Structure 1
Amino acid sequence: MRLPKRLLLAAGIAALAGRRAFPAPYDLRGKHVLLTGGSRGLGLALGRELAARGARLTLVARTERDLRLAAEDLRGRGAEVQTVSADVTDPDALAAVMSAAHAFGDVDVLLHCAGLIQSGPLANMTEQDFRDVMEIHAFAPLRLVRALLPQLSRRRGRVLLVTSVGGKVAVPHLVPYSMSKFAAVGLGQGLRSELAAQGVTVTTVCPGLMRTGSARQATVKGRYEQEYALFATLDNLPLLSLGAAPAAHRIVDALVRGDAEVMVGGPALLLRYAQALAPQLTADALALGHRLLPGSGESDQPRLGVEVETPLTRNNPLKRAAEEDLNG
């Protein structure tokens, strides 16, 4: 009796491996993609990549000016684009998003890229900081998926959640961010298994550092100038960070393949494997690294990175090169 069971198991594994090796590609031409956080940074780079593959885009973001500029950029590349100014953390904004998206018909793909980065010592983080970042990284995509599920199911659509390597390994000075990204990874895994029966494919991507200009929009606490200088420098180092365009290309490739989960960037992959294979050593290394970071400050008030730039960080050639790459 053992032999047939083993053969059955082997056949099942072979079938799954064959399906993974030769997946049916998802054609984005003409597909309606609802993209949150699509007005700048990685979101805009994703919009460009999706548009290049023939998708029609509904961009959702809070700032009308940024949305207008993003739409002009994408239309200049031949994309069909509409915009919705809305805060995805506000449950009451869902109706406006759904109503605007209806102009393009049912949504085929939900791509959640909206995010918030808070950098600073745990001593300066408040409980509200944790709640704010949980709302945008975990509860917002949950509400969107629930609202769009009938459409996604009819269209056998797809969901892609942009999380972070911080959702696999908690990083010092990014504790609220890491907590929320762990939640987002768990949400993606749960949605993947539960929505498959309804014909919806869910992909979770975990990028590492990317040169997307996010440091200027991050909130910093503690010793503001030192905290921002460190974050902005690491965020733009070529060996540690990935350019916005190649990151967007890899993320959309994962969506097209229908991958369950993908690490984006070599350093992110290495850090994940280090955590999985040597958790004690990784924890000790991170604890040691924390000692080298700026200490806490007297104020718990957050400030935007752009507000605490110094001439040194403003004229950083690495940052300028990253901005040119993003705007190219």
Structure 2
Amino acid sequence: MRKQSRTAGSLAGLTAVVTGGSRGLGLLIGGELAARGCAVTIAARDADELSRAADLLEERGQGSVRTAVCDVRERDEVEALFTSTAQACGGVDIVVANAGVIEVAPVDAIGADEFDEAMGTMFGGALHTSLAALPHLRRSPAGGRLALIGSIGGLLAVPHLLPYSCAKYAVAALAEGLHTEEAQRGVSVTAVHPGLMRTGSHGQAEFGGDARREFAWFSALAGTPLVSMDAERAASRIVAAVARRRPRIVLTPAGKAADLLHGIAPVTVTRLSGIAARALPDADGAEGGLRKGRDITERPRGVGERLRAWGSALNDRAAVRLNQHAPKTRP
């Protein structure tokens, strides 16, 4: 038998798939699952990133993982991922839909294409992953577990992150709806809503409008300990929530506070967000198109530069640790 009876909350011996698993939070979740005794497949679009990710996890003693190249925007590729994993591993018990993109810009600096990209990758990816995984999860002798990675930005709209927020709102609705429908089939669905985390994602994010200033505030906040969360700790809590079949988890104290306040006084929170938005860069001086954070080498000067530099430095270190940058080649 592939599975034996187990202690409640134990994941040892189960088969897991993590999309967006080659870097950042997905890499850490894959490593946490492997450390708990799962046979893990990490999936992403970039074969080289996947190879580096597998090597990193093995070097850290979290075990070996299987890799699969898959674009979650393509339904056929996602279906093939689960068919091949089930054949190779004897089934699928745990699935974490994590693939995502981040676009940071005022709405004046972007258009419908950026919204389409965000919806296609995050909501479309979560949808394709869920629909392809559910038939396998329903057959799991251990009872399938599905986790959809949303965001605090999917519980309240965040200025200059509107494409991201719209897509994450849709992911939140999908997770909640699937949880109610799949409970009768023995499949648990966990909606995961992280706040800011130190994953080094600022290098992979895209910035528009005044790209340098957008990069500065985003990388600083995402790296500042008082408002962001250690990514390893976040991954551990997410996997624990999946193991315990929790329907919903919100991470970081700031995220929990924002979620609570928005539920109690949504109009007040919206007005406060409007005030905060005034402090963010406008679209004046837009350079045309979006720029990857890793390509932005200029840094704005002025009040708060030391804080920005501190937060960005912590995020830069996370980027190296979590496979967010390709290694430099020597001549």
Shift of 1:26: 3.0
1:7-66: CA deviations, max 9, x gaps? xxxxxxxxxxxxxxxxx8332111111000111111111122112211111110111111
Contact persistence 1:55–1:79 (CA under 8 A): no
Is 1:25 paired with 2:12? Answer: no
Q: Distance in 1 between matches of 2:299 and 2:79?
A: 44
Tell me the residue number matched to 1:107: 92
Tell me the residue number matched to 1:126: 111
2:182 pairs with 170, 188, 195, which one?
A: 195
Shift of 1:317: 4.0
TM-score (norm 2): 0.87
Q: Distance in 1 between matches of 2:291 and 2:261?
A: 33
1:241-284: CA deviations, max 9, x gaps? 00110111111111111111110110000011111112222111
Tell me the residue number matched to 1:178: 165
Shift of 1:152: 0.4
Output aligned runs, 1:50-61, within 5 Å: 50-61=33-44
Shift of 1:87: 1.0
Q: Distance in 1 between matches of 2:170 and 2:288?
A: 24
SS at match of 1:33: strand
Tell me the residue number matched to 1:320: 313
Shift of 1:320: 3.3
Which structure is larger by alpha-carbon Rg, 1 or 2?
1
Tell me the residue number matched to 1:233: 220
Tell me the residue number matched to 1:290: 277
1:138-171: CA deviations, max 9, x gaps? 1222222222222100112100011000011101
Shift of 1:300: 4.7
Instruction: Could you tell me which runs of 5 or more consecutive residues in structure 1 were left unpaired when the two chains were aligned.
Output: 1-23
Shift of 1:306: 0.8
Shift of 1:79: 1.7
TM-score (norm 1): 0.88
Is 1:139 paired with 2:124? Answer: yes
Is 1:306 paired with 2:300? Answer: no
> Number of matched residues?
304
Tell me the residue number matched to 1:7: none
Shift of 1:191: 0.3
Counterpart AA for 2:18: L
Tell me the residue number matched to 2:49: 66
Q: Distance in 1 between matches of 2:314 and 2:127?
A: 36
SS at match of 1:316: helix
Change (3 A) 1:198 1:183: same
Tell me the residue number matched to 1:18: none
SS at match of 2:113: helix
Contact persistence 2:212–2:299 (CA under 8 A): no
Is 1:89 paired with 2:73? Answer: yes
Shift of 1:322: 3.9
Contact persistence 2:15–2:40 (CA under 8 A): yes
Counterpart AA for 2:201: S
SS at match of 2:78: helix
Q: Distance in 2 between matches of 1:288 and 1:78?
A: 45
Q: Distance in 1 between matches of 2:136 and 2:182?
A: 13
More helix, by proportion: 1
Q: Distance in 1 between matches of 2:217 and 2:185?
A: 45
Which contiguous aligned blocks of 4+ residues in structure 1 show a shift greater than 6 angstroms?
A: none
Contact persistence 2:96–2:147 (CA under 8 A): yes
